[in-house]
Each structure stands twice: as C-alpha cells, then as structure tokens.
Amino acid sequence: MALQVDGVTVRYGDLTAVSGVDLSVADGEVLALLGPSGCGKSTLLRAVAGLERPTAGAVRWDGRDLADVPVHRREFGLVFQDGQLFPHRDVAGNVAFGLRMRGTAKGEQAARVAELLDLVGLGGYQRRRVTELSGGEQQRVALARALAPHPRLLLLDEPLSALDRALRDQLAVDLADLLRRTATTALLVTHDHDEAFTLADRVAVMSAGRLLQVGRPAEVWRRPASEEVARFLGCTSVVPGRVEDGVVSCALGGAPVDGDVPAGPVRVGLRATALRVAAEQEAGAITAEVVQRVHRREHARLLVRVPEVGTVEATAPVATAPEPGASVRLALDPDGLALLPV
Ligand SMILES: Nc1ncnc2c1ncn2[C@@H]1O[C@H](COP(=O)(O)OP(=O)(O)OP(=O)(O)O)[C@@H](O)[C@H]1O
C-alpha cells in the first residue's frame, strides 16, 4: 500500500475539519475524495501533502510515518485549482521548477520539459508566457510542472473547477488518460461527481470531516452505503422496496437490478431519471398526476404526484411531455435507481 492515512484528525480550535479518517491509496491507483464544500477534503489533502499537521493520527508512505518529513521532501506533486504558476517565468521555466530544485543537469531538464509538454498536449510551448495562456492551458502547465520530477504521489485539489464546463469535461478525460498512461498514483479532491467518476479507480465520499463510503465508482453510484451518500450522489427520493429474483419493487413499480443482490428489503434511491413516461402497453406502469413541467435541453422534467408516495421527479420526451394537471403513466428506469441497505 503506497499511501496510508491512519486515523487522521485535523482541528482548528473548536472546529474538527477532519475526523479520524482511515484511507489508503495503492501504487498506481487514482482515488478521488468527493464531498460537499466545507466537508474537509482539502484539509485532508493538505495533511497528506504536509501543509497541515494532523492533530491525531498518521500519514504514512510505504509504512513510514511522514510526520517529520517536510513538504518538499515528501516527493509529492501538487496541483491546485488556480495553477499557481510563477508569472515571471515562461512555460519551460515553470515546468522545470522541480528539476532545478533537485539540481538536475540543464540538458536533462530541457528534455524532460519537452517530454512533459508533449504529454499534456502543449508541445512547443516552452517559450510562451504563462500569463498569456488560457485557463485550461495554465492547468496543463501546472500538471506538467507537478509531474516533471517523477513524484511518487500526485495531489490534485479541484484541478479543473476554475474552468468552464465543456473544457472541464475535456480536460478530465485527458487527465484520466494521462494518469493511466503514466501509471501515476494520485489523490484527487473534487466536489464534482462527473470529475470523480471520470478520473478515479475508487471514490471516497466525505461529509462533515468523516468518510462515509469508499468504493469503486459504479459501486458507490449504484449501492450507496447510506441515505446521505445517496442524496449527495443525486437521489432526490428514497422509498422502501424489496428485491426478489433479481427484480426490485417499490410503490413506483419494478425494475431489474444489476449484479447479485440478495432477496429481501431494501431502500430505493431515485435519481431525476428514475421515472419516465411509459410506452402505451407497458406492463407494471403506475399512474400519476403532473404537477409541474420544465423543459430541459434533452428532455422535459416533470414533478408528478403519486398516490401514497408523494411528489417525485420524472422525465418525458420534450415533444410529447404532458401538461400540469394531466394524468400520466410512468415506468421505472433501472439506470436512475440506487439500492441502499435498510
Ligand atoms: N486554516 C484554517 N483555519 C480554520 N478553519 C479552517 C482552515 N482551513 C479550513 N478550515 C475549515 O475547515 C473546514 C473544512 O475545510 P476544507 O477546506 O477542508 O473543506 P473542503 O471540503 O475542501 O471545502 P471546499 O470544497 O469548499 O474547499 C471548513 O469548515 C473550513 O472553514
């Protein structure tokens, strides 16, 4: 196990920002810390980096306690939200920073800078001023700078959140590809589900300083450990249900479940896409009354009233979306469901 966080607590006066967190990141693994603003994820990352001293617990690398190892001797690379590039240095000067600190020979520095710039898609940018780069290009330079000295762990704190949505999506895909190709071990902090799920081998969901669940992205998404995790991951309603012979049933209908789920009671988490307008002859559909209709880009989002359940969300094709007051038949879409323990 490369990185091990053992019972780490960080307090600021009376405030406990991180509370007894145990976590490990294996060699070559990318782990995303995901949680709402203020849940303590940056503080935990800073404790791993050595920028924050834990009040209790230990950060270890290959079993060795790093308490007395200062930031610059941990051999960790750091990338922050805003890049924090040196404005008076050109791109090459920024990327070579860690290599200069280590006393790497000039020729070797230039070769490594060129290699890293190619890797992040900025080949030939050596002499460009960083102040004249776009936000996305600046983050690529920050990434190249962090990776240049071959860090044993890359720490990424919201590396894409200053960018606009389209660029963020593209850079997340590029970054995921780059981390895999270079077999980089990384700890990523983000509040963005898509980013965490695109990049991470495992996701750790945090709330109020504690870890709520750690698992593979699909597992955390489909099988949240608690209602808190389910709601954070987009479930807007949680209703009682039952699994029998690979089918989950609840007051809103039935749907096949993926994977091996034992028969018995469950709670069913419903995302906005869990209910859709049923086909004409579709079996197992329920009837509901439309309360509200909002047009989105790809579909219409309905608020519907279901007898004995209450008001829940549903989706309909834009062209045929029923009006408020209309009666509508709805079926469950397994892709919009999560199963929680009772
Ligand atoms: N240096 C500090 N001194 C006092 N309180 C702090 C300090 N740093 C963070 N905190 C507090 O600790 C808590 C956790 O903050 P942290 O920045 O780790 O959360 P976060 O999950 O990373 O949030 P965000 O996504 O908004 O950055 C917050 O309540 C914050 O106000």
* pLDDT tens, residue by residue, 163-189: 888 888 888 998 899 899 989 999 999
- The CB of 40 under 6 Å from ligand 1? The reply is yes
- The CB of 53 under 6 Å from ligand 1? The reply is no
SS3 state of residue 293: strand
Ligand 1: which residue has its CA nearest to atom 1? Answer: 12
338: buried, middle or exposed (CB in 10 Å: 19+, 13-18, 0-12)? buried
Work out the average pLDDT over 151-158: 95
d(CA 187, CA 31): 5
Full strand arrangement of the beta sheet holding 202-207: 76-79, 153-157, 186-190, 30-34, 202-207, 210-215
Which is the closest atom of ligand 1 to the Cα of 209?
A: 14
Output the CA 34–ligand 1 centroid distance in Å. Answer: 14
Task: Indicate the average pLDDT of the chain.
Answer: 93
- The rounded percent of the chain whose pLDDT value lies above 70 is 100
d(CA 165, CA 295): 20
d(CA 236, CA 268): 11
Is the pLDDT assigned to residue 1 strictly greater than 70?
A: no
ipTM for the predicted complex: 0.92
Is the pLDDT assigned to residue 28 strictly greater than 70?
A: yes
- The CB of 191 under 6 Å from ligand 1? The reply is yes
Ligand 1: which residue has its CA nearest to atom 29? Answer: 38
- The CB of 15 under 6 Å from ligand 1? The reply is yes
Output the CA 188–ligand 1 centroid distance in Å. Answer: 16
Residue 219's pLDDT is: 95
pLDDT band at 3 (very low <50, low <70, confident <90, very high): very high
Tokens of 43: 């503080």
d(CA 315, CA 181): 39
What does the pLDDT look like over 18-27, one tens digit per residue?
999 999 999 9
Residue 303's pLDDT is: 95
Residue 81's pLDDT is: 86
Is the pLDDT assigned to residue 110 strictly greater than 90?
A: yes
Work out the average pLDDT over 75-86: 90
Tell me 319's DSSP state.
Answer: G
Residue 168's pLDDT is: 86
Work out the average pLDDT over 321-336: 94
Which is the closest atom of ligand 1 to the Cα of 13?
A: 4
Is the pLDDT assigned to residue 115 strictly greater than 70?
A: yes
- The CB of 35 under 6 Å from ligand 1? The reply is yes
Ligand 1: which residue has its CA nearest to atom 7? Answer: 12
Output the CA 205–ligand 1 centroid distance in Å. Answer: 16
Residue 258's pLDDT is: 85
Q: Which of 39, 193, 205 to mutate to test the pocket of ligand 1 (most atoms within 8 A of CB)?
A: 39
Question: Largest Cα–Cα distance of the chain, in whole Å?
Answer: 74
Is the pLDDT assigned to residue 281 strictly greater than 70?
A: yes
- The rounded percent of the chain whose pLDDT value lies above 90 is 80
- The CB of 38 under 6 Å from ligand 1? The reply is yes
Tokens of 226: 């608690």
Number of neighbouring beta carbons within 10 Å of residue 9: 17
pLDDT band at 259 (very low <50, low <70, confident <90, very high): confident
Q: Determine which of 134-148, 157-171, 226-240 has the lowest per-residue pLDDT on average.
A: 157-171
- The CB of 14 under 6 Å from ligand 1? The reply is no
Ligand 1: which residue has its CA nearest to atom 16? Answer: 40
- The CB of 33 under 6 Å from ligand 1? The reply is no
- The CB of 41 under 6 Å from ligand 1? The reply is yes
HSE of 240 in the Cβ direction (CA atoms, 13 Å)? 4
Cα angle, residue 83 at apex, residues 81 and 85 outer, rounded to 5°: 160
Is the pLDDT assigned to residue 296 strictly greater than 80?
A: yes
d(CA 142, CA 97): 11
Residue 234's pLDDT is: 93
pLDDT band at 261 (very low <50, low <70, confident <90, very high): confident
Residue 276's pLDDT is: 94
Taking the model in full, what pTM does it have?
Answer: 0.89
- φ, ψ at 218 (rounded to 5°): -65, -35
Residue 309's pLDDT is: 87
